[in-house]
Structure 1
Amino acid sequence: MKVYTKTGDAGLTSLLSKERVYKDSARVQAYGTVDEANAAMGLAKSLIEKDWAKEIIHNIQAELIALNADLATAEAVNNADFRISPNHINSLEKLIDSLEERRIPQPYFVTPGSTAASAALDLARTITRRAERCVVALGRQERVSAPVPLYLNRLSDLLFVLARCVEQEELVANITKKVRGILEPVPGNDREKLSLPVLTKARQMIDAAGHKAREMGIAMVMAIVDANGTLVVQERMDNSLLASVSLALDKAYTAVALRMPTEQAASLVTPGQELYGINTTHHGRLVVFGGGLPIYDQGILYGGIGVSGGSVDQDILVAKAGLAVF
């Protein structure tokens, strides 16, 4: 059988009942838009690496074929003649609930395009919304199986949540890969060579930072780590916050791990930026607000200094006072 039949050359097509209708009829517009959504989901499936997400999409694509058969059926006598039932809607709702449990909440409007796969899912979502509108318009003129528009409504919600889960998993995986590359330990003898300058200067740096903190009248905690993120020395001033002990160390660690001041990292973790989501990785050790500085000399990273106890600006000033000694 040839792909082209010429039976539609006059602008007509056949429903499953063999009834001939115009190609721009509301019913054809409806199932044609669903077919478009199905194709967009296929694009998303080709871009996704996770098998669990591919399986979800594949199963839904099969259901959309059945849903289109319902839309192409204009003369069904009772609900038993239709293929999509309330059970299909219940399954979508359960799937949405399970995906909601695994995604990171996002209390802001999402701009599509953080990853190729999530962008394709968002495209499929918006086409599904259009398909739902087409089905609603059709239902005002002709009979439509009741579960069909409900299915499309829930499907658009599912595609939104699925896009966020896929997007977040991919972003976290990419960030984790970058961090692991940064955190690769310096080999043997080189590690000892890089640690030596920090070991000899650490006490002086802590003293200088502490002197600055006392000048400002703020009780702070200061920490120095070497190029591998290992603690060299840490000092807690009287009456400093208990939380500052771990924060100072983690700021120093973050400055080494990311090879940048923690205040710079803060601007890169907002939605859409290069390091978005990195603060949720590495067991929560990465601190993305000011107070941590890498210790560089002639382009060589020797370690990091972290300060906590005051405002962000105050922590940065004290850290810089300690760094100046090195």
Structure 2
Amino acid sequence: MKIYTKTGDRGETSLLSGQRVPKDHIRVDTYGTMDEAGAALGLAKALTINERAAAIIERLQTEIVALNADLATEDCTGGGRITTVHVAALEATIDSLTQEIIPCQGFVIPGACPAGAALDLSRTIVRRAERNAVALHRISTLPSCVLKYLNRLSDLLFVLARYVEQEELVTSVTSRTIRELNKINDMSRGGRKTMLEKAKNLINAAERKAAEIGVPMVITVVDDGGNLVAQHRMDGALLASIAISRDKAYTAVALKMPTHQAAALAQPGQPLFGLNTIDGGRLVIFGGGLPIIDNGKIVGGIGVSGGTVDEDIAVAQAALAAW
């Protein structure tokens, strides 16, 4: 199927019936406006961290496709794709969410969080589509549930925006509270974390990044003497990566540089050529090992193995960002 057909070059388009109408026809304007609403919902879905909200948005986007098919049909008097079942489902979702949110006092100013703002944007677009649909209904018969659906949909989007804002506020406050509690715990120990505690944080951050890119890794942390502090092997990671990640971490400390920099210096003709043959073969000259620097001092090293060189480096860098 070609993306461009050239059939609309003269400002006309086809309805589902095949009838040609101007692109500024009120019917085209109506389903085009709902297409905007679906795109705004896509933005909200991409922004939200709430799985329930994302699932609701996904359902609404699917229903909008069916609604647009009804709007793009000239003669739909026999009943449309959107039915009373869809309207009832919107009402049930509104009722469920309303029970979970704090009642609003006065007018709401959008923008409390990105996902909520996108939902409010989609709500206003749906309202515009509803106004268009009312005008269209004066000159052409619409399926009986179209206007009801549009009206309930805008109501649902208002409630869903408030729900998302509330849930993301709770998540934000909870995260800040945990951080403050961790600070208090640190203060009770004189403000110092052990190397093992810090290593666990690095490993957790590295594992999240490795899971994000879909590559099982082995992550190793050593202290400033190259001694093992902690090692973690994700399910499915290569057995060879156990030793490789440890040696990468050791190399980063021993040479006081990232292992990918050592790789450049160990090429033929470079000053460290043959480096990998000394120290019992422990020195690794490819990327994935980084020194851990605290206040300008090397306090340890992290080594990552299991993916490509670039993937190993990216995971190690993500870990250091959590130091």
TM bin, normalised by shorter chain, reads: 0.5 to 0.7
User: Which residue in the other structure is 2:86 paired with?
Assistant: 88
Q: How far apart, CA to CA, are the structure 1 residues paired with 2:20 and 2:148?
A: 27
Q: How far apart, CA to CA, are the structure 2 residues paired with 1:186 and 1:5?
A: 65
User: Which residue in the other structure is 1:54 paired with?
Assistant: 54
Q: How far apart, CA to CA, are the structure 1 residues paired with 2:155 and 2:106?
A: 16
1:184-205 Cα shifts (integer Å, max 9, x gaps): 36458x64999xxxxxxxxxxx
Unaligned runs of 5+ residues in structure 2 are: 192-323
1:137-169 Cα shifts (integer Å, max 9, x gaps): 100111111211110110001001000111111
Residue of 104, 107, 123 corresponding to 1:106: 104
Distance 1:14 1:105, change over 3 A: same
After the TM superposition, which segments of 4 or more aligned residues of structure 1 sit over 6 Å from their partners?
Answer: none
Q: How far apart, CA to CA, are the structure 2 residues paired with 1:112 and 1:17?
A: 40
Shift of 1:111: 0.5
User: Which residue in the other structure is 2:74 paired with?
Assistant: 74
Shift of 1:8: 0.5
Q: How far apart, CA to CA, are the structure 1 residues paired with 2:6 and 2:55?
A: 37
Structure 2-normalised TM-score? Answer: 0.57
Q: How far apart, CA to CA, are the structure 1 residues paired with 2:55 and 2:102?
A: 21
Q: How many positions carry a matched residue from both structures? A: 191
User: Which residue in the other structure is 1:34 paired with?
Assistant: 34
1:81-117 Cα shifts (integer Å, max 9, x gaps): x101111101100100000001111212111001000
Shift of 1:178: 1.1
Counterpart amino acid of 1:165?
Y
- Kindly indicate whether the alpha-carbon contact (under 8 Å) linking 2:40 and 2:118 is maintained by their aligned counterparts in 1: yes
User: Which residue in the other structure is 1:10 paired with?
Assistant: 10
Shift of 1:118: 0.2
**Aligned to 1:145, what secondary structure does the other structure show?**
coil
Superposition pairs of residues 274-293 of structure 1, within 5 angstroms = none
1:213-266 Cα shifts (integer Å, max 9, x gaps): xxxxxxxxxxxxxxxxxxxxxxxxxxxxxxxxxxxxxxxxxxxxxxxxxxxxxx
Q: How far apart, CA to CA, are the structure 1 residues paired with 2:60 and 2:175?
A: 32
Structure 1-normalised TM-score? Answer: 0.56
Q: How far apart, CA to CA, are the structure 1 residues paired with 2:111 and 2:35?
A: 23
Shift of 1:2: 1.8
Shift of 1:45: 0.4
- Kindly indicate whether the alpha-carbon contact (under 8 Å) linking 2:97 and 2:159 is maintained by their aligned counterparts in 1: yes
User: Which residue in the other structure is 2:178 paired with?
Assistant: 180
Q: How far apart, CA to CA, are the structure 1 residues paired with 2:185 and 2:170?
A: 27
Q: Does 1:141 align with 2:121?
A: no
